[in-house]
Structure 1
Amino acid sequence: MARREKNRGRHLRGQNAIRVIEFMELAGEATPRKLVKHLQLSNKQAHRVFERLTAAGVVVNQGKPRYPNYRLAPYWKLRTRIKAEKSPAERPRITEECRKSTAMKRVLSVYGMGL
């Protein structure tokens, strides 16, 4: 129990964990065999991913220990910190932001590159 509490809210490091969560959002539930079949993971990888996700509180085993059937836990999004990457078009370029500042405008005007 102490290990489970310690791991809550951790970043999900591996791409496999993120792929499993995306798969479970679509399918609703998953077993290690389904992951082996659909995501081309090995049996050991599938079990390890489910162990990490269970310890983090993201998934819940609703099956038996020898025949696991996992579902996403209620409020699982609160327990994960998956960072969505912004596309380069959405991010402001730092040079554009700096040129808009009054201090930078003064510097650029001294060097003859003012806007």
Structure 2
Amino acid sequence: MSKTYVEPVHAGEFLLSEGAGKISREAIALAAGVALPAGQVLGQVTASGLLTAYDPNAEDGSEAAKCILFAGVPASDEERRGRAVVRLAEVTESLLTGLDLDAEKALASHFIIVR
């Protein structure tokens, strides 16, 4: 019997274009929690200021999409560091995790355009 493997999205693979230099990306602080893949849409928890997976049903601030995780991060019981695309970029819809129409509109307000 053969096994089928699914390769995850690689760091930055979802990017079609970004601003010159490093203007599109920033270092970020992520809340403790489950592993997050590259291309995960993120929201910001109002109380802590930490980023976490975008959740349209939340009521803690993370219901508003803010940016996209550049490279995957492992699960952790502690706050994590990462990098995110926060502005001036075009991204591939099919390589994003957690994207819905509201998130797409919110990202557009940060000049992150979904193609």
Per the normalisation by structure 1, the TM-score is: 0.25
Larger radius of gyration: 1
Higher relative contact order, chain-length normalized (CA < 8 Å, sep 6+): 2
Structure with the bigger percentage of helix:
1
Per the normalisation by structure 2, the TM-score is: 0.25
